[in-house]
Amino acid sequence: MTTDGVQLDNGVSSELESFITGLYKKGPTFGLTREGFGAILTEIGAKYLPTGASFHDAIDLYSSLRIEDLALARACAAGHEPAWEIFMARYREKLYDIGAYIAKEASAARELADSLYAELYGTKTREGERVSKLASYTGRGSLEGWLRTVMAQEFVNRYRRQRRLVSLEEETEVGKEFAAKETEPMIAVDARVEAATDEILFELRPEDRFVLASYYLDGRTLAEIARTLAVHESTISRRVDKLAKSVRKQILSALVRKGMSRRQAEDALDVDVRDLHLNLQDWRMQESSSKTFHGKEGNPASPSEAQASGVEPDH
């Protein structure tokens, strides 16, 4: 017998089957049959087990699953009414609480919760069959945690969509001045600086990169990052400080190895690429004798200035 991604011989597969039977008998199944339950676990194994996974890898994976939550979710997805009643009793109110926590605003929270509930119930159909989002739940984490994650994803997607819509509205409003989109700097920073920085960042451990990105890019607090990684806040504080020092030091060393002097390397690191871009624009504007020259606040230039630039002054 084989499952996708997992090659098992008959002796081992029978052991796996009896293990699955044991899991099936352990908790409530909310109307799922043994065969249906086995098919679900096989599907999950195919999704998460790497090719050539051993019997023990499969056992470890199946043992880590939230079997009861998985059975409830899949029974709901299959349309078992008693399972739905249990799901409603356990999670209906929690959906609104989660929405309130994520959206922070009552009407948005309710909309988010109702929208997710509809997707969970399966208002959409495919080939005549109801499609429920619960069918994608695999029991790797708790069902409540999964609901939180799904709702958070929906919230982030909506917020992104909303930002794009606002931008479009601003662009089409007559007479309203809107800011131009930010573009990449027209002039590149010294290529050696970029290369050295990329090298050092590539060598960072995944967790260190996550901490730096959360702190410096997202602006998260030390407490929030600590909560995500389940460590103390002081640990994150020390780590951020240590990483910042280490990254700076390593970039400087790399730049010196690439032929820069120490002074040049330090100057290069302290320059903000955005400042370079703005300086370039100012330089271009000062050099230009174009007709687009304007005085301050949009007023026409003074006659002497206009004459000097070759522009006819307005009267």
Partner 1 sequence: MEKFPKIAQQRLEAVAVGAHPDPDLLTAFAEKLLSERERAQILQHLGQCSDCREVVSLALPEIFIPSIPPAKPSRLSWTVLRWGAAAACVVVVTAAVTLHYERRENSEISVADKALETQTGSPAASTSTATQAREEMAKAAPRPANKERDFNASDKLAKQRDDQFKSQAPNQPAIGGFAASRRQSDSPSTAGAAAGLSDNRVAKADRLESLDEAESSVAAPASVAPMAPQSKAAGALARNVSPNESSYDSAKNETLNSNARSIQAETAQVGESRVKDKADKKSQKTNPEALQQLPKAARSVHLIWTLSADETLQRSFDSGKTWQAVLVAGGRVRAFSANDSDIWVGGAAGALFHSSDAGEHWTQVSPTTNGRALTADITHIEFTDAQHGSIITSSRETWSTSDSGVTWQRQ
Output the smallest distance, CB 315 to partner 1, in A.
47
Q: Is 82 in the site for partner 1 (CB under 8 A)?
A: yes
Q: Is 144 in the site for partner 1 (CB under 8 A)?
A: yes
Q: Is 139 in the site for partner 1 (CB under 8 A)?
A: yes
What does the block give as tokens for 70?
């998985």
**How far apart are alpha carbons 314 and 309 in whole angstroms?**
14
Beta bridge partners of 129: 126
Q: x/- string (CB under 8 A) for partner 1, residues 244-273?
A: xx-xx--x----------------xxxxxx
Residues 312/306, Cβ–Cβ less than 8 Å = yes
Site of tokens 């330089």: 283
Among 52, 217, 287, 297, binds partner 1 (CB under 8 A): 217
**How far apart are alpha carbons 240 and 246 in whole angstroms?**
10
Region near partner 1 per CB under 8 A, out of 34-42, 115-123, 207-215, 281-289: 207-215
Region near partner 1 per CB under 8 A, out of 7-15, 117-125, 131-139, 280-288: 131-139
Give the contacts of 95 (CB within 8 A, at least 6 positions apart).
Answer: 113, 116, 117, 147, 151
Output the smallest distance, CB 119 to partner 1, in A.
12
Nearer of residues 143 and 311 to partner 1, judged by Cβ: 143
**How far apart are alpha carbons 161 and 167 in whole angstroms?**
10
Nearer of residues 80 and 311 to partner 1, judged by Cβ: 80
Q: What 8-state DSSP symbol labels residue 175?
A: T
**How far apart are alpha carbons 290 and 311 in whole angstroms?**
9
Nearer of residues 213 and 301 to partner 1, judged by Cβ: 213
- Measured between its terminal Cα atoms, the distance across the chain in Å is 91
Residues 103/156, Cβ–Cβ less than 8 Å = no
Q: Is 138 in the site for partner 1 (CB under 8 A)?
A: yes
Q: x/- string (CB under 8 A) for partner 1, residues 91-110?
A: ------x---xx--------
**How far apart are alpha carbons 114 and 190 in whole angstroms?**
52
Output the smallest distance, CB 169 to partner 1, in A.
23
Q: How many residues belong to the chain?
A: 315
Output the smallest distance, CB 287 to partner 1, in A.
27
Among 79, 141, 300, 313, binds partner 1 (CB under 8 A): 141
**How far apart are alpha carbons 87 and 73 in whole angstroms?**
8
**How far apart are alpha carbons 185 and 187 in whole angstroms?**
5
Nearer of residues 262 and 294 to partner 1, judged by Cβ: 262
Q: Is 5 in the site for partner 1 (CB under 8 A)?
A: no
Q: Is 33 in the site for partner 1 (CB under 8 A)?
A: no
What value, to the nearest 5°, has the Cα angle with vertex 297 and ends 295 and 302? 30
Residues that bind partner 1 (CB under 8 A): 27-28, 30, 60, 64, 82, 85-86, 89-90, 97, 101-102, 136-142, 144-146, 148-153, 155-156, 160, 189, 193-194, 197-198, 200-201, 204, 206-207, 209-210, 212-214, 216-218, 220, 224, 227-228, 230, 237, 240-241, 244-245, 247-248, 251, 268-273
